[in-house]
Structure 1
Amino acid sequence: MRTMLEQHQLWQDLTWVAVDDPDHRDLERLRDDYQISKKYLMYMKDIRERARFDYDAQTDCGLLVFRSVNHGEQGEDSAEYLETVPFCLIFKNNLLITVTHPHNAYIITDIRNVIGDLKQRYSEPNESLFTVAFNLLFKLNEDYLDRIDEMNKAREGLETFHKRPSNKQISQLSNLDKRLVYLKTAANNNVIAIRQLQVMSDAEDDPLKLSAAEMQHLKDLRVEVEQSREMANIAAEIVEQVVGSYSNILDNSINNTMRLLTVWSLALAVPPIVSGFWGMNMPLPLVKESWGWLFSIFISIVPIAILMWYLKWHHDI
């Protein structure tokens, strides 16, 4: 059976601990072996934890929660689909702990690729754990742009319909609008988390000590996550406009239907009046004539024709 907690020795004295879908025993091991605070353990278990950066001065430990794109369940119409899931990075001295969930377990492969690239680039890497983390976050941020492109293509497909959108298209657009709300909220929280990390490391008396190269890397990362946030906001605004167009088209269709029903209700009200008049049990003109029923039909059709002409003349139909 595969273990959910794996320790990997990197270059020099740096260590990476990969934790995938931690259970109670994994969390206890993190607490006992690596002295991770209970507060951070609670953050790891929450699948809906928002992006943030937090530093614990007592244990000299920093926690970065980054909302990563869900590569798990598929289906645009799924009501339970989580667009993003939290990914936790813990920095403690020469130790980097990563915590993933089933829907973002692909990040472990991404980390291995980042470490492999650094090893290929340098025969004896001397990069810090922050450099590894920043390179990884660049990759995770690219997933936002890919997901936004997918949503834009889905939106373009929903913009093409005949006369009025179908119920299926309306449902898909509503779901797309909801998914974009979650995506842009996660992107905005990621920006806040990166800013918090930057604030904790941009002065000499700050607890995090980053080199000039690492600070520049962090600034570049902030630019990228801000770009993803803006792209998500733009995509959400366009979808909102399409939702408004759908609403206008449906309202106009309802108005046309109600106007048509009103016209026909007025037209069909004439024959019962005529037939009711000629059906009264009392002497009436033309009752005994053989063509009297044709005359009743004629005087029913004439008011209807006059009504239709009047409504057409005034552009009501």
Structure 2
Amino acid sequence: MIRFLLSSSGCIVEKMKFEPGCWVCASAPTEEEQNYLKNAFAIPEQFLRAALDEEERSRIDIEDDCTLIIVDTPVCLGTENGNDYSTLPFGIILTPKGVVTVSLKNTALCDSVISGAVKNISTKKYRRLVLNLLYQNATLFLQYLRQAEKEGTFAEKALNKNTGNKELLRILKIEKGLVYFSTGLKGDEAVLEKLLRMKFISDYPEDAELLEDVIVENRQAIEMCAIYRDILTRTMDAYSGVISNNMNSVMKLLAAITIILTIPQIVFALWGANTPVPFEHDAVGFWIVVGVAVVLTAFATVFAIFKKWL
């Protein structure tokens, strides 16, 4: 799907066709739409292929009059067992006719900018639009990180009440998402630093300040992601220790009960053998054997309690 977006009075308005100054937002473009982008904006085919490659790394590439900037954007998919966090390559192509963004799926980044997350946005100022997109991307990372942290805290509270597989799997899923976020943020940081070295905005002081804000926001997201990952890792280690201790306690209890219940069986088996045994012909021999079994069982029980096996 291709959308033609033009700023008007600081807001984004969707147009039916391309107009000068439009931002072209392509989400999961068809082959026909890709051909249109190549022909209408002279975009190299490899730029489109790179932007639509799910495994593409964050980078900057320049060919002729086109500049390709690929960053990782956060993705949050709601499921029955909570949200799944991941990243997706997001291609920003700067052409002489305007800014073209290409992604494999519809992203929250485009939707948030279109819905007015960026104040006083202008699609006619191409480089500033690129910086606004990068800033909003870093902001989305922070937003999803806070959301993931709340979900992790909720799962941890649930674990305190009941150490179930569902809560453990939820924390593992969040931790996996944070790994994707961390990798994506570090790749984006390299892209931002390269933009700074390229003097992408050398003629515009306001844009230079905006790029610095993007870098600061991205670094803050990296630090926050590292903190949350460390907290979740320590939480999982702690609960792994708790589960291991609980398992040891259960095994110890079962072993102690098994030993105690085995004592009467041994006593009765010895006196039930087809060989001469004490009290064999005694009228109260049976009760003596029962008494011996009870005494030995009681002694074993007291000993197990003393050793804290029960």
Q: Tell me the TM-score range normalised by the shorter chain.
A: 0.7 to 0.9
Match of 2:211 in 1: 218
Q: Does residue 89 in structure 1 map to residue 92 in structure 2?
A: yes
Deviation at 1:100, TM superposition (A): 3.4
Aligned residue among 127, 131, 149 for 1:134: 131
Distance 1:144 1:76 in 2: 22
Deviations 1:68-127 (A, max 9, x none): 2225x3127479x452222211112342111134341661561473787246xxxxx9x7
> TM-score when scaled to structure 1?
0.83
Unpaired runs of at least 5, structure 1: 120-124, 203-207
Q: Deviations over 1:170-227 (max 9, x none)?
A: 111111211111122222222122112222227xxxxx75423222211111111111
**Deviation string for 1:12-59 (max 9, x for gaps)?**
963422212112112222222222122211112213333222222xx1
TM-score (norm 2): 0.85
Match of residue 105 from structure 2: 102
Matched letter for residue 67 of structure 1: D
Equivalent position amino acid for 1:168 in 2: K
Partner of 1:205: none
CA shift for structure 1 position 289: 3.9
Rounded to whole Å, the distance in 1 between the matches of 2:82 and 2:56 is 21
Residue 122 of structure 1 is matched in structure 2 by none
Change over 3 Å in CA distance of 1:95–1:68 after alignment to 2? same
* Structure-to-structure mapping, 1:110-125, within 5 angstroms: 110-111=113-114, 113=116, 117-118=120-121
* Structure 2 counterpart of 1:69, one-letter code: P
Aligned length: 299
5 Å matches for 1:268-279?
268-279=261-272
Contact 2:202–2:208 (8 Å) recurs in 1: no
Equivalent in 18, 21, 33 of residue 26 of structure 1: 33
Q: Tell me the secondary structure at the aligned position of residue 46 of structure 2.
A: helix
Q: CA separation in 1, counterparts of 2:125 and 2:160?
A: 57
Larger proportion of strand: 2
Q: Is the 8 A contact 1:62 1:92 kept in 2?
A: yes
Given that 2:118 and 2:136 are in contact with CA atoms closer than 8 Å, whether structure 1 keeps it comes out as no
CA–CA distance in structure 1, aligned partners of residues 44 and 216 of structure 2: 31
